[in-house]
């Protein structure tokens, strides 16, 4: 897949200071070659199935999966079926407070 095709299959949803959200649609067998981002990335699989490689390790992804990548992490995507993703790029400040809601009641770590 060349860069022009990728540009046609993605839609910028939000683009503001420190946050970019993209809806990415890949047709079956389409690939985005290995690359990295200079931001924290959270990928949510909306529909379909794919192979998401992180630092060379292939992982099967499917509807409902959520992946977190730190800045500079090498990753690539291949669609096994038509694949729809929401990709969130966030430039987080290191002094931000982390919210922990795992126990059901939210608290923050300082």
Is the model more confident about 56 or about 101?
A: 56
Q: Are 98 and 58 in contact (CB under 8 A)?
A: no
**Over the stretch 21-63, which tens digit does the pLDDT of each residue have?**
999 999 999 999 999 999 999 999 999 999 999 999 999 999 9
Alpha-carbon span 6 to 67, nearest angstrom: 20
Task: Show the CA angle centred on residue 40, arms to residues 38 and 46, nearest 5°.
Answer: 120
Backbone phi, psi, residue 70, to 5°: -85, 160
Domains of the chain by residue range = 3-109
Cβ-based neighbour number of residue 69 at 10 Å: 20
With respect to CATH, is domain 3-109 assigned 3.30.70.60? no
Alpha-carbon span 82 to 6, nearest angstrom: 14
């Amino acid at each position: 897949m060349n860069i022009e095709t990728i540009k046609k299959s993605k839609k910028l949803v939000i683009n503001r200071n420190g946050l970019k959200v993209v809806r990415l649609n890949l047709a079956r067998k389409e690939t985005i070659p290995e690359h990295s981002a200079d931001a924290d990335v959270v990928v949510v699989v909306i529909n379909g199935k794919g192979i998401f490689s992180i630092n060379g390790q292939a992982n099967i992804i499917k509807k409902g999966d959520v992946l977190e990548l730190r800045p500079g992490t090498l990753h690539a995507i291949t669609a096994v079926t038509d694949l729809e993703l929401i990709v969130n790029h966030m430039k987080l400040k290191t002094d931000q407070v982390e919210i922990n809601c795992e126990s059901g009641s939210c608290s923050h770590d300082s």
